[in-house]
Amino acid sequence: MGCFLLLFWTLLLGSLLLGQSVSPSPGAKALLALLGSAQGSSRSVLESSWNASQGDPCSGWIGVECSSLRQVVSVSLAYMDLQATIPAEFGLLTSLQTLNLSSANISSQIPPQLGNCTALTTLDLQHNQLIGKIPRELGNLVNLEELHLNHNFLSGGIPATLASCLKLQLLYISDNHLSGSIPAWIGKLQKLQEVRAGGNALTGSIPPEIGNCESLTILGFATNLLTGSIPSSIGRLTKLRSLYLHQNSLSGALPAELGNCTHLLELSLFENKLTGEIPYAYGRLENLEALWIWNNSLEGSIPPELGNCYNLVQLDIPQNLLDGPIPKELGKLKQLQYLDLSLNRLTGSIPVELSNCTFLVDIELQSNDLSGSIPLELGRLEHLETLNVWDNELTGTIPATLGNCRQLFRIDLSSNQLSGPLPKEIFQLENIMYLNLFANQLVGPIPEAIGQCLSLNRLRLQQNNMSGSIPESISKLPNLTYVELSGNRFTGSLPLAMGKVTSLQMLDLHGNKLSGSIPTTFGGLANLYKLDLSFNRLDGSIPPALGSLGDVVLLKLNDNRLTGSVPGELSGCSRLSLLDLGGNRLAGSIPPSLGTMTSLQMGLNLSFNQLQGPIPKEFLHLSRLESLDLSHNNLTGTLAPLSTLGLSYLNVSFNNFKGPLPDSPVFRNMTPTAYVGNPGLCGNGESTACSASEQRSRKSSHTRRSLIAAILGLGMGLMILLGALICVVSSSRRNASREWDHEQDPPGSWKLTTFQRLNFALTDVLENLVSSNVIGRGSSGTVYKCAMPNGEVLAVKSLWMTTKGESSSGIPFELEVDTLSQIRHRNILRLLGYCTNQDTMLLLYEFMPNGSLADLLLEQKSLDWTVRYNIALGAAEGLAYLHHDSVPPIVHRDIKSTNILIDSQLEARIADFGVAKLMDVSRSAKTVSRIAGSYGYIAPEYGYTLKITTKNDVYAFGVVLLEILTNKRAVEHEFGEGVDLVKWIREQLKTSASAVEVLEPRMQGMPDPEVQEMLQVLGIALLCTNSKPSGRPTMREVVVLLREVKHTSEESSALKVSTPVIASQKSSHSEVLEVSSV
């Protein structure tokens, strides 16, 4: 019996010991569960340390600390690549005090079981991919001091249970998708020291109870959707060092009580809707280093008391409605480095006392109403890099003392009333890159010392009263790209050595009194795209070497005293769009080689010279040319070489032409003033009748041409119509009844990819895909307006795909979209993300509240010319970015007015870029691609080449310009069968006495300068819609041409050049349209 009992107890003890060795502790169980879910590169590191067979995490496991009782009290795996989920088993770690999984690639919800870890003092899960809501069970963590949940994808509201965490000191929940309001119970957490909740979608107002958290040092609610006023109770937070409330919709006045927060270092309130005055009490913030209140609606004057903020480094309050003077007390800010008071209504002078701020780096005072002189004492600012005081009413001279500011690289004093000479000391600044002094009243010469500014990039002195010669030393500047000296009184000859400045891209010297000949060395300016020497007193011959300017687009030598012949070598300017040689004393014949310059588009002006001989037959090749002026010469022969040109403006008056006027559209609709002074001409209303044989010849030729054109047009129309019909039928069958089905398409079957932090979940998008939310349909899919629970509104485009394939190059569909997501331009609609399942792709875009350009035009909204022009220019810049700056380049393939969306600031945003390509990628390689474009916007050549190039986009953009000008759609019933807007416009121009008649009637009554600008844009539209692709400009050239029409705000000068793109047929040489300078 005794032996039996001994055996029994031995077996029992052995089994107990065996059970203890194989059953892991709660700590081991939790950690091994985490390890089991890990898929990242750090898994192997943990496996080598976390020995499951031992079952004891207190035996040296990496990242684990234990108490003396061998209980896990700390798990710290920060910055490891775990790619894991937080297991529910972590709730077993009841002694855990610190859990740090920050930046560990965790992608799960926060398990509510963490609420069982009541000993926790630090919970750090920041910088992961956590989703779902913050568990209410975290309110059980009554010992919690630090909660770091920032930079995740958490949603929902801030749980009310956190009010129980009375020991909480750090609350970091920024950069998530949290919504709802800031709870009033936050005032109970009186030990809070830092709250960071920015970058969410929090709504409502800031609760006044926040003032009870008197231990706060950092309070951040920036970049949310907060409204209401800033509570005055924040003034009780006397320990506060940083207050971040920027980029909300806060309104009301700035609370004066903030002046009690004397420990404040940073006060950031920019981009809100704050009103009222800046409280003088802020002068008590002696420790303040940064004050950012820009882009609000603050009024009143700048309080002098701000001068008591002795530690201020940045004072940034532009874009408000502030008035009154700049307080001289700001001169007491000895630490100030950045001062920006621009875009206000400030008056008075620039205070001399600013020179006491000897650490100033940047002074921005532009766009105010400042007067008086620029203080000499600013020369003491030896750290100054930028001085912007343009667009004011400043007078006096430019202080020579600025030459002491050795770090200056940008000086912009333009658009003031400054007078006197340029101080030579300015040109001793070795770092100066941008010197903008235009639109003043400066006099005297350019100092020879300019040759010392080796960093100078832009020299803009136009619209002054400067005189003297252009110094030879300017040729020593190797980085010079823009020289604008027009509208002055410069004399003397052009510097020979300037031809060595090969970096030059623009040289504009027009409107001076320059004399002598044009240096042959100018032919070496290989990068020049604009050369304007017009309206001077230049003589001698035109150097043939100018034909070497391969990149020049605008060449203007008109209104000088040039003699000799027109050099045929100019045909070497292969990109030339505008050549103006009018108003000179040129003789001889027109060189035939000019007829080979197929790049000529904007115009060719040879008027008011002494040219002889016939028009070269090679002029038949100038198919792109829109404006031709040969008037006031001694030309002879017939006008037959011009018979086939599609000109919008032609003037051949006062020559010696003879014979019949060609029976072509441009001649049939010419007014007599365009060919008066040619006694030998006959027909078309001339008193001299043509012979019967001449009339028969003209009629036969016209009939043959009409028949050929009709046959080609009919064939083209049938091809496009057939292709469009096939596409629409196929698309309608494919896209029918595609709303989201919860049962057939559960959320788990979808994949969401985002390109920025989004404040909503995938299901929020899917639930909006119902027919009542459809705002547009097209051959590529359906567009839905989707309102998210947080108030955000998206435009979701559903693309229907037959297969989830690859491009012809083997690039997966998702990678094609990722490429599109890299596009970042202010005039291109931003792609926020996309969702995919087996047969559908959803593209997520920003929602544009003003709809499309087509909507605005259709609703007959009163869009003034400036708005229309800005929309056109913005769309052109966006499209040029896709063509020329995107890597790889992107052809839009469906430019139209419905794909140009308008944001809240009436700026253009190009939409659907790349969608046509995506549709082709999604199809099998054996499937024929859909038609590229929409009817009325399709370039003529596409019907027979089926090739897609950037010139297709250019043509479509030209149609959009015509829509903007006429307020007519690309295809209208009134045009007649088979006639689109382009054909209708060209017919109207042939039959109208003035091009003005094709503009929208409301636009015709606008001031003459604006009407002239519209005509310039009309000419650009006609260039873009040239029937031949080679005759169309690139989009980069279109942007240049549009900027020529009117300066943007940055290029605000009023320089003019003098050759028309398109004009009324009644214009004379002295009344030609003007194009603003780039």
Q: At which residue do the structure tokens 């009542």 appear?
A: 772
Q: Contact 935/717 with Cβ under 8 angstroms?
A: no
Q: Are strands 338-340 and 362-364 parallel, antiparallel or unpaired?
A: parallel
Please list, residue by residue across 260-284, b when 16 or more beta carbons sit within 10 angstroms of its beta carbon and e when fewer do.
bbeebbbbbbbbbebbbebbebbbb
Q: Tokens 């420990």 correspond to what residue? A: 263
Q: What's the rounded Cα separation, in Å, for the pair 298 and 346? A: 12
| CA pair distance 955, 936, nearest whole angstrom | 10
**DSSP E strands, 317-409:** 323-324, 338-340, 345-346, 362-364, 386-388
Element (H, E) at 1003: helix 1001-1004
Q: Is 476 annotated as a binding residue?
A: no
Asked if 882 and 913 touch (Cβ cutoff 8 Å), the reply is: yes
* End-to-end CA gap in the chain: 113
Are the CB atoms for 126 and 101 separated by under 8 Å? no
Distance CA 374, CA 1070 (A): 41
Q: Which residues contact 206 (CB under 8 A, 6 or more apart)?
A: 182, 221, 226, 228, 230, 231, 234, 245, 250
Residue 690, classed as helix, strand or coil, is coil
Which helix (DSSP H) or strand (DSSP E) does residue 722 occupy? helix 692-735
Distance CA 346, CA 323 (A): 4
CB atoms within 10 A of CB 46: 21
Compute the distance between CA of residue 710 and CA of residue 390 in angstroms, rounded to an integer. 58
Backbone angles phi, psi at 649, to 5 degrees: -145, 130
Q: For residues 498 and 716, what is the distance between their CA atoms, to the nearest angstrom?
A: 52
Query: How many CB atoms lie under 10 A from the CB of residue 1009?
Result: 10
- Residue 301 CB neighbours (<10 A): 17
Percent helix, percent strand, percent coil in the chain, to nearest 5 = 30, 20, 50
Q: Is 79 exposed, middle or buried (0-12, 13-18, 19+ CB in 10 A)?
A: middle
Considering only CA atoms, which of 399, 455, 467, 447 is closest in space to residue 429? 455
Q: Which of 316, 340, 391, 894 is catalytic?
A: 894
DSSP state of 518: P
d(CA 575, CA 823): 29
List, in sequence order, every beta strand (DSSP E) within 640-715: 649-651, 658-660, 680-682
What does DSSP assign to residue 1056?
A: E
Q: What is the DSSP string of 81-131?
A: ---B---GGGGG-TT--EEE-TTS-B-SBPPGGGGG-TT-SEEE--SS--B
Helix or strand or coil: residue 1059? coil
- Side chain identity at 988, as an amino acid letter? Q
Distance, in Å, from the CA atom of 236 to the CA atom of 224, rounded to the nearest integer, reads 23
HEC-encoded secondary structure of 39-75: CCCCHHHHHHHCCCCCCCCCCCCCCEEECCCCCEEEE
Peptide bond into 159 cis (omega under 30): no
* Residue 885 is among the residues annotated as catalytic for this protein: no
DSSP-derived secondary structure letter, 133: B
Catalytic residues: 894
Q: Which residues are annotated as a binding site for ATP?
A: 797
Q: Which residues are annotated as a binding site?
A: 797
